[in-house]
Amino acid sequence: MVAQPAPQANCGSCGTKQPRRFEWRLFPLSSKETGAKHIAVVIYSLRGGGAERVTVDLCRYLRDSGREVTLLTLSGDDPDAYAFPEGVRRERMEVRRVAYSPLQTIWYFFSRIAAMRRKLRAIEPDVVVSFMDLVNVWTLLCLFGTGIPVIVSERIHPAYNSITRAWKVARRLIYPIADAVTVQTEEGAEWFRRWTWVRRLAVVPNAVRYSTESGVQVNEATTAVSCPFILAIGRLAKQKGFDLLLDAFHRSGLIQMGWSLTILGIGPERSALEQQAARLGISRAVTMPGFVDVTPWLKQADLFVLSSRFEGFPNVLVEAMQMRRACISFACPSGPRELIESNRNGVLVPVEDINGLSEALQRLAADPDLRDRLGAEASRVSERFSPALVYGRWLSLIDAVATQNATIFWQRSRNARSAQNG
């Protein structure tokens, strides 16, 4: 299966060009006999977050495809936020150590690499799939020279990732030795082509999820909301732009019309956001329930807003669209412009444009028919990002790398991109 980017189009309301949207073409997967029989997946932890949830889903689909799957986490016995799929082997390591000098830092780094090398070689996988930037670098280094193929996955737009300069240099130098690097959008792939030596790139977005797959280990009880409300979901961090959303909600005046705002998630900015809401005089209309199952809230929401300054591929926006919610999103890098065609299946607003977001909130709040129309069209995202298509691409890539047929995979990807651009 090859991801083909569609031609760029202008976004009417936000005045920017929309990156090419995903279209899919199937090609036969490798069989179990000629592909990877045993796959190891490596991630730091299974704490709450989009990458962690995608990791669990990938393990589940690999298991269902008849493969042996081992998941290795590196945070010791830290509790999981997501239910672990049955039939997947679980391995844990503790790599955290406090260094009190530069010499200790160097020693602990090489000790970590050596320990990971021993662990992964003992697992004996046909292919290793690694998630998240720092873990990707560790995994590539620890398996260098072993002959075990490695696929690394970037989960956020690389230009906006808040890793240190040293890690950015390490990523630029070490990623090219990966057998494949996956990104979630064509925009992210273009960045790697322009700024790094990485050429074995695969664009693999996130799949839609169904309610039976949520697997969130939290209290699922949800208080029924009687008044109309706007929903936002994400880690309470600066990246997610909830400070901008609070300002926009305040300026919209919707609180006087009986609307409220609910923000789901946990993170370091919670106190600052609560103080901001109090300063704006909107605390009574803003709730932050914490880390909860998002599905019941999405079912009740009248509007969904993605206020992020940047993303990798916004899982929550896909879920909201899948559940027929009318969605407003900043046209941030990357993902929203590949999901939303403004005023057809949602509304795009220029990134960090508080007035534009406020006006969009007012327009959709005042027009239930428009919300229904946008939500109905948004639900078609389930066709474009179905698990069969997305995880089929993962399986194709894993099998191609395992059987050293990746050249054919890359040629198909290049041909699809060239045909679409031509």
> pLDDT, tens digit, for every residue of 277-331?
999 999 999 999 998 889 999 999 999 999 999 988 888 999 999 999 999 999 9
Measured in degrees and rounded to the nearest 5, phi and psi for residue 25 equal: -135, 130
Residues 370 and 393 in one domain: no
Closest to 149 in 3D by CA, of 185, 178, 107: 178
92 plus 223 within the same structural domain: no
**Can you tell me the distance from the alpha carbon of 157 to that of 186, in angstroms, rounded to the nearest whole number?**
10
Query: Are residues 373 and 395 located together in one domain of the fold?
Result: no
Backbone dihedral region of 389: left (phi > 0), alpha (psi from -120 to 50 degrees) or beta?
Answer: alpha
Q: To which H or E segment does residue 97 belong?
A: none
Do residues 135 and 35 share a domain? Answer: yes
Q: Which domain holds residue 33?
A: 2-207+386-421
Q: Do 35 and 175 lie in a common domain?
A: yes
Cα gap 215→210, rounded to integer Å: 10
Question: Are residue 88 and residue 122 in the same domain, yes or no?
Answer: yes
Q: Are residues 359 and 409 in the same domain?
A: no
State residue 84's pLDDT score: 85
Q: Which residues of the chain have pLDDT under 50?
A: 1-13, 16-32, 212-221
**In terms of domains, do 242 and 329 share one?**
yes
Indicate whether 42 belongs to any domain: yes
**CATH number of 363's domain:** 3.40.50.2000
State both tokens at 411.
């040629």
Residue 212 lies in a domain: no
Sequence-separated (6 or more) residues with CB below 8 Å from residue 384: 21, 22, 23, 24
Residue at 358 is within a domain: yes
Q: Is residue 71 domain-shared with residue 140, that is, in the same domain? A: yes
Q: Which residue's structure tokens are 């926006």?
A: 317
Beta bridge partners of 343: none
In this structure, is residue 65 part of a structural domain?
yes
Give the C-alpha separation, 230 to 348, whole Å: 16
Residue 173 and residue 251 in one domain: no
For residue 412, the model assigns a pLDDT of: 55
**Domain presence at residue 103:** yes
> Does residue 345 contact residue 321 with C-beta atoms inside 8 Å?
yes
Instruction: Report the number of distinct structural domains present in the chain.
Output: 2
| DSSP assignment letter at 378 | H
Residue 2: beta bridge partners? Answer: 25
Look at residue 299 and tell me if it is in a domain: yes
Q: Residue 312: what pLDDT?
A: 83
Strand pairing category for 9-10 and 17-18: antiparallel
Structure tokens at 179: 């057998």
Same domain, 23 and 123: yes
**Domain membership flag for residue 183:** yes
Same domain, 318 and 406: no
